Amino acid sequence: MKPVVGLTGGIASGKTTVSKMFADLGIPIIDADELAREVVEPGTPGLAAIVEEFGEDVLDEEGGLDRKKVADLVFGDEEARETLNAIMHPRIGAAGAKYVQGYQDHPAPYVIYEGALLVETGAHKGFSALVVVSAEESVQRLRLIARDGFTVHDANARIEAQLPLDRKVAVADFVVSNNGDLEGTRRQVNEIHEQLVARFGSGESA
Ligand code: ATP
């Protein structure tokens, strides 16, 4: 099997930005957030399971899942959140495994699996290596305000709701420090890529 490298980090730390840099080097990216949408598309067993558990109120006018409604429903309700996770996580895992399978003949020596909660869910233990994107809290805050129009208060709440970044850095094999300009970040990505190529070969299974 082709090695799968996990990529995670704090909110607005630059995970997507760094993923794109790996993609520029020819590395396939599997995005957990995209999988999370895919497994609850209309007509999927995932969506049926959610409606059975939470009722039709979680659907929008077109019959798709209203992710905000679901997020509001489980916010602060640990039991509901666990029920949702029990529906979502196995399906996301299976969908991810299918994508990895589909990349077996790809010339890249490894694939990247990007997700916000890889350490929180324990998924990081299953990867061949883990890359963590780190940014100072003040930088995360500014990026949240600039990108999403959050107030300082809301940005802080989002940051504080997350597992502290140092817990993620502690289990990382590689850390990308994304506090500076994009060129500096790209240089780090290139270096990490070279090390991953050295570790995993040039396209053969490790
Ligand atoms: P989320 O947690 O919301 O998924 P993320 O970790 O994927 O976010 P990005 O979307 O990559 O983070 O970056 C957050 C914002 O900061 C984006 O608007 C992005 O363009 C900007 N950004 C990321 N890195 C840099 C950088 N080095 N210099 C300037 N802007 C940056």
Q: Is any ligand 1 atom within 6 A of the Cβ of residue 165?
A: no
Q: Is any ligand 1 atom within 6 A of the Cβ of residue 162?
A: no
pTM: 0.92
Q: What is the pLDDT of residues 115-163, one digit of tens each?
A: 999 999 899 999 999 999 999 999 999 999 999 999 999 999 989 988 9
DSSP 28: -
Cβ atoms of residues 31 and 114 within 8 Å: yes
Q: Is any ligand 1 atom within 6 A of the Cβ of residue 140?
A: no
Of the candidates 171, 184, 189, the residue with the CA atom closest to the CA atom of residue 18: 189
Per-residue pLDDT at 46: 97
The domains of the chain, with CATH numbers, are: 1-28+107-206 (3.40.50.300), 33-102 (no CATH)
Per-residue pLDDT at 202: 66
Ligand 1 pocket test: which of 7, 8, 11, 16 has the largest number of ligand atoms within 8 Å of its C-beta? 16
Q: What is the pLDDT of residues 48-81, one digit of tens each?
A: 999 999 999 999 999 999 998 998 888 789 999 9
Q: Which residue's CA is the closest to the ligand 1 atom numbered 15?
A: 143
Euclidean distance between CA atoms 19 and 34, whole angstroms:
13
For residue 150, the CA-to-ligand 1 centroid distance in Å is: 14
Query: Average pLDDT in the 187-201 region?
Result: 96
Q: Which residue's CA is the closest to the ligand 1 atom numbered 22?
A: 14
Per-residue pLDDT at 203: 53
Collapsing DSSP states into helix, strand and coil, what is residue 68? helix
pLDDT band at 206 (very low <50, low <70, confident <90, very high): very low
In the predicted model, is pLDDT for residue 205 greater than 60? no
Q: Is any ligand 1 atom within 6 A of the Cβ of residue 11?
A: yes
In the predicted model, is pLDDT for residue 201 greater than 90? no
Averaged pLDDT score across all residues of the chain: 94
Q: Is any ligand 1 atom within 6 A of the Cβ of residue 14?
A: yes
pLDDT band at 35 (very low <50, low <70, confident <90, very high): very high
Least confident of 127-136, 172-181, 194-203: 194-203
Collapsing DSSP states into helix, strand and coil, what is residue 125? helix
Of the candidates 18, 29, 3, 8, the residue with the CA atom closest to the CA atom of residue 172: 8
Q: What are 171's two structure tokens? A: 């289990």
For residue 178, the CA-to-ligand 1 centroid distance in Å is: 9
CB atoms within 10 A of CB 90: 12
